[in-house]
Amino acid sequence: MATTPLTPELIKLAPKVLLHDHLDGGVRPATVLELARESGYQGLPTSDLDELATWFIADEPGSDLVRYLEGFAHTTAVMQTRDQLERVASECALDLARDGIVYAEVRFAPELHQQGGLTLDEIVSSVLDGFVHGTDQAASEGRHIVVRTILSAMRQANMTSTIAALAVQFRDRGVCAFDIAGPEDGFPPTQHLDAFHLVQRENFHLTVHAGEAFGLPSIWEAVQFCNAERLGHGVRIIDDVVQQGDHYELGRLAHYIRDRRIPLEVCPTSNVHTGAARSIHEHPIELLRKLRFRVTVNTDNRLMSGITLSSEFAACAAAFNWTLEDMEWLTLNAAKSSFYPFDQRLAMIDTVIKPGYAALRSR
């Protein structure tokens, strides 16, 4: 079978699908600075735009999840009013569309945006309104994107059932799933079974941050107790894969994840910045791909990692010699794994994604 070398131009032009992206982790540095000035927020480490953009990127040697998370205190501080939330969401949708993304599920934690007196309903409505405005602006530029929302609850707090109910409440307005985020170690997903059971009773969707900073027990609980449909990151499933000479042996959990086609929302650069992987070249995404796990490529936090989805594909292509056909396979994985209703998902695959890659191959 002929293969097509993956160039930066093809990556940029290729239709892409994004399943794991945090709204407060993708704010434009200029917007952070401007909103801080407008609101009187004094906590930024610098008022110089270039220095601020560099400060947010947690890529120094020895960086870990603690350093990586420092930036969120500043982004959430300037996302506390309706106008701020709408602007950030609108710019997010436009930025993703300009990167060639045709479908995105962007997540955020409503409980982190209550400092300005907004209710949870007002917070979610503001973000959804912003996404509508951003997709409309993208369409005016000839770029078509569908942006849907995942509501995350912070696993170290006590609002998971409230946020789960909120996600269900807004399911017909653009919210497509429920998630828990925050520190895995010490806060297992089984502490929030009431929230997961509520989502399941409502025939709604859920994904769980699991298998990033903590290992196999977190993945096992997310799948077997919480019925996670997808795993946020999930890369630590590699701990259940052992090399035996020229082949690899999968443990029972790894077999189960692969057999059930449970999608892994993999975020390579973010994993390097948080210490979950030592480098892109040493990241387990390539082995997981070769072993035919349901791997997807994602950004996690574009601001904190200084990336786009295009640059993620470019970095992996350079490290692993990915072709355009590999990128298409990964994109189709993401499309099939999305929480988009089946008919719309199929139409997107058949009328946007596959024709888009076919056109690139014929260039």
Residue-level pLDDT at 70: 86
**pLDDT value at position 61?**
54
User: What average pLDDT does this structure show over 274-285?
Assistant: 92
Contacts 24+ apart (CB under 8 A), 35-38: 35/78, 35/79, 35/84, 35/87, 36/74, 36/77, 36/78
- Rounded distance between C-alpha atoms, residue 13 and residue 230, angstroms: 27
Whole-number pLDDT of residue 1: 61
**150, part of any domain:** yes
Radius of gyration (C-alpha) of the chain in whole angstroms: 19
72 lies in some domain: yes
pLDDT tier, 64 (very low <50, low <70, confident <90, very high otherwise): low
Domain interval for residue 312: 8-361
Q: Specify if 58 maps to a domain.
A: yes
User: What is the reported pLDDT for 182?
Assistant: 87
Confidence of residue 287 (pLDDT cuts 50, 70, 90): very high
Average pLDDT over residues 321-348: 98
Instruction: Place 275 in a pLDDT band, splitting at 50, 70 and 90.
Output: confident
What does the pLDDT look like over 99-151, one tens digit per residue? 999 999 999 999 999 999 999 999 999 999 999 999 999 999 999 999 999 99
Neighbours of 137 (CB within 10 A): 15
Residue 354 lies in a domain: yes
pLDDT at 18: 99
Spatial separation of the C-alpha atoms in residues 243 and 106, rounded to whole Å:
36
Q: Is the pLDDT of residue 34 over 70?
A: yes
CATH of the domain at 225: 3.20.20.140
pLDDT value, residue 63: 62
Residues classed as catalytic: 212
* Structural domain total, the chain: 1
Under DSSP, the state recorded for 349 is I
